[in-house]
Each structure stands twice: as structure tokens, then as C-alpha cells.
Chain A
Amino acid sequence: MALRALLTKRAPTLASGLGPFASAGGSGTGWQGLCHARGLKVAALPDLEYDYGALAPAISGEIMRLHHQKHHKAYVSNYNDALEKLDAAMAKGDVAAVVRLQSAIKFNGGGHINHTIFWKNLKPVNEGGGEPPHATLGWAIDTDFGSLEALVQKMNAEGAALQGSGWVWLALEKERKKLLVETTANQDPLVTKGANLVPLLGIDVWEHAYYLQYKNVKPDYLKNIWKVMNWKYASEVYDSEAA
């Protein structure tokens, strides 16, 4: 377990932001080198800060592994593909192609953004996962929702009611410094609901996030995910944005 943590933390091929060595899954290195030469920054699959099995029993290791290594990796890979095609279309002045690529960029880019936040939103229990927020974020929650329980209930209700695929978010509205619960469809990032919205916590309610373990009982997944919620991360984001 510890050895695997060591490997995932140090595996250079999966580390993010390392230029030409940034790996985006099995699409080869040819176009990546080219993109880097043209100054195009490709996305890279970020490492998790914990083992795949570390969030069990709230979220099973099997789900974490598939979610990270298959789903997120595919979003990264497809985003990079679309980005390269967009670059080429822009260079050629092919407006139709530029427009046509938008939905793939929104979907895969959004998937990459959302999942990158999601991995940071989760923490094993023995590393502080599930510990409720204190201080500034804690008070803001009490002010805007009445209590932490009320917030959790609201997010779970919205998550359960969401039709199809999407995300439920605890958002900070930067201008008014107010906390909100928002939902987005498919892989739409939170900013699509408002340019001033900052994601503090997101819960993936796509079926792939819970089906293998919870089958179609989404409410059970929503109940249990709070046991591994990383409120420390949410507090840090809140403090830096609401200051």
C-alpha cells in the first residue's frame, strides 16, 4: 500500500506540467512533441494523493482506479486531441472546424477540470477525510445554509434529483462572498453557471462514479461520500478567494 503510494507520487510519466514529458495516455508522443514545439500546452492526468483503495468503504478501490485511469485519462487524451485539431483549424482559418470542435473541447476539457478538482475534494478518513469545516468556511456555511447538516442535505437532494449525468457543487459566489449549491449537466464546469462561481466541493453524480458499488442507489453514494470529503481543501480555496 505504502509502496504503491510512493510509486503514484513519484511516477514521472504521470506528473503534471512537465512539458514534453507530460503524458496523456496512450496516444503516443508524436503530436505531443509537435504541440509543445508550437507552444501548445497539453493537459496531463494528475496523480491522486492517496491510494485507489484508501477511500473505501465510502468509494471502492475498483471505482477509484477505473474513474482515474480510464475515465479521467480519456478526458485528458480526447481534450488534447481536440486541442491539437483546434490549433490546426485556427492556423488554417477553418471557421467551420473551429466551431465543430467546441463541443468536444467543452466536454473533455470540462471533464478534466472537474475531475482534477474532485480528486482534491476527497481524502482518506485517516488523513482527515470527513472532518467538518471550521473557522471561516464553517461560519459561512452556518450563515448561508443554517448548518452543515442542512448543506449536506441540500447537496444530496440536488444530486439525487439530477437527471442523467452531471455534478453537484458547493460554490462560492466571489462578488457577493456567498455560498451556493449548484448543479451542472454532463461535464460542464461550474463557471458555465456563472463567471463568478468558484468550486469549493464537487460531487460527481455520473453513474460511473458509483454504479459498480452502489448500483442504482445514488442516495447511498451521496450519503457516504461525505465521510471522505476533504473540507480542508475547500477551506483553503474559500479563504484564498473570499479574502
Chain B
Amino acid sequence: MAMALPLAYASSVVNPFEAGRLSFSTKATKHKKHIYQFRKVTKVLAYYGLANPPYKLDALEPYMSRRTLELHWGNIHRGYVDSLNKQLANSPLYGCTMEELIKTTFNNGNPLPEYNNAAEVWNHDFFWESMQPNGGRLPWGGVLDQIEKDFGSFSNFRDEFVHSAMMLFGSGWVWLVLKTNERRLSIVRTSNAVCPLVWGDIPIISLDMWEHAYYLDYKVF
């Protein structure tokens, strides 16, 4: 999941289409030369880029409208990325991978101010990946085997997942995670921006249950 890599840029705008493709070191060495050659140089900043969802914004219709994705990705997700970059501009925390940043800023349950933005950036990246156009088929292979082992059947799992989502009070997420210690799948509900990465679990799929994720399309619930 290398969506949000740190990128070093002197002064140009981050090109979102190249967000995943530039490596940290090549840009850094290029800029080191610049720093010594020119006295007037803008500060080198580590930047997180907003990655595109792996499909066009209307690809999930009719279940999730283009308008929802335009706002959810284009405004809300982008907002978290921009806020995070602003926060990190003067912080010793930049230069981490997103996962490292999330675990560090979660601070064992006493989150630092950057946590919320970092986690929401990652959560949304993961959420776009959890969905696909023309999806809805049953899982297969190892995932299905494990689901059947841990939930009895796929439809049991789905019922439990939906029930968990309906029981969420306030804003939050529902996750299917692989619990690393117990070596089994589990459905986990988190509040606001909490991400199961902080407990060392491995998310498999997620569902955004903040109202902004469904309100335009489904109104209430």
C-alpha cells in the first residue's frame, strides 16, 4: 500500500499522477546539488500527495454517485492531505511512511494533533481500494476459506459486518481485519479516525460510516 509516499520538492506543485512513482532519493540528491549551487532556494519539504482512486469517479454508480466521490475524495480526502502537509511543515515528524506516521502519532491512545489527518488520509486511500467497479462478487481462495472458518459462512460475515455498521454511534469506520496475534479474521468498529493499524492488525476491507460517505446518495440510513 504505497499510495502516500513522502516526496521532496523545492518549489513546484506536486503532480498527483506521479505521486506514487517518484522515489524519495533521486529527488533528494537532485535538490542537494541545487541547495549548494544557489543561495536563494526555497525550503525542501516532505509532501504527501493525494493519490487517485483506482477507478474513475463515476465507476461505482449506481451504488455510490460521482457527486459523492467528487466531494468525498476531491474535497474531504484532499482536505486531510492538505491539512497534514501544513501540520508537518514545521514538525520533526516528516519523512516517515504513512504507516509509521500513523503509529507514531497515535501515541498509544494519546494522539498527537497530526494523527487525525494522517489516519484519515490512509483510511480513505484504503477505502477507495476496498471498492471496485462491477464488484460485488463473492471473495474466493484464501480469503473465502478464512471467512468461512471464522464466521461460518460468507452471508454470516456480511450480516455481522452490516450489523456492526448499523450499531456505530457517531462517525467512524467498520473494518474486516486479520488479527495478527490471534491469527483470525475479525470485524472491528472504530470511532472517528481510529485505524486498526495502530493495534498491529491487518485491514482487509473497510467501510466509511461517516455521514458524508452516504448522505448524498442515501439521505438518512
Q: A residues touching B (Cβ–Cβ < 8 Å)?
A: 66, 70-71, 74, 103, 107, 163-166, 185-187, 206-208, 211-212, 215-216
Contact = CB atoms under 8 A, between A and B. Distances in A.
B220 A71 contact: yes
B71 A70 contact: no
Contacts of B192: 163-164
B169 A107 contact: yes
B220 A185 contact: no
B157 to A, nearest CB: 23
Contacts of A206: 211
Q: Is the contact region of chain B dominated by helix, strand, or loop, or is it mixed?
A: mixed
A125 B118 CA distance: 41
Nearest to B120: A163
A70 B171 contact: no
> Considering the complex of A and B, which 3 residue pairs feature the smallest CB-CB distances, nearest first?
A207-B211, A186-B170, A164-B171
Contacts of A186: 169-170
Contact of B215 (A107, A163, A211): A211
22 contacts: A66-B220, A74-B220, A103-B169, A107-B169, A163-B192, A164-B170, A164-B172, A164-B192, A164-B193, A164-B210, A166-B170, A186-B169, A186-B170, A187-B169, A207-B210, A207-B211, A207-B215, A208-B215, A211-B211, A211-B216, A212-B215, A212-B219
A185 B211 CA distance: 15
B211 A216 contact: no
A99 B142 CA distance: 39
A191 to B, nearest CB: 18
Interface of B: 71, 75-76, 79, 116, 169-172, 191-193, 210-212, 215-216, 219-221
A70 B220 contact: yes
A212 B219 CA distance: 8
A197 B70 CA distance: 41
Contacts, number: 51
A166 B211 CA distance: 12
A206 B168 CA distance: 14
B18 to A, nearest CB: 26
Contact of B170 (A70, A71, A185): A185
A97 to B, nearest CB: 16
Nearest to A185: B170
A66 B191 contact: no
Contacts of B212: 207, 211, 216
Contacts of B220: 66, 70-71, 74, 208
A163 B192 CA distance: 7
B215 to A, nearest CB: 5
A80 B170 CA distance: 19
A207 B214 CA distance: 11
B109 to A, nearest CB: 15
Contact of B71 (A163, A165, A216): A216
A195 B220 CA distance: 32
B73 to A, nearest CB: 11
B219 A215 contact: no
Contacts of B172: 164
Contacts of A165: 170-171, 211
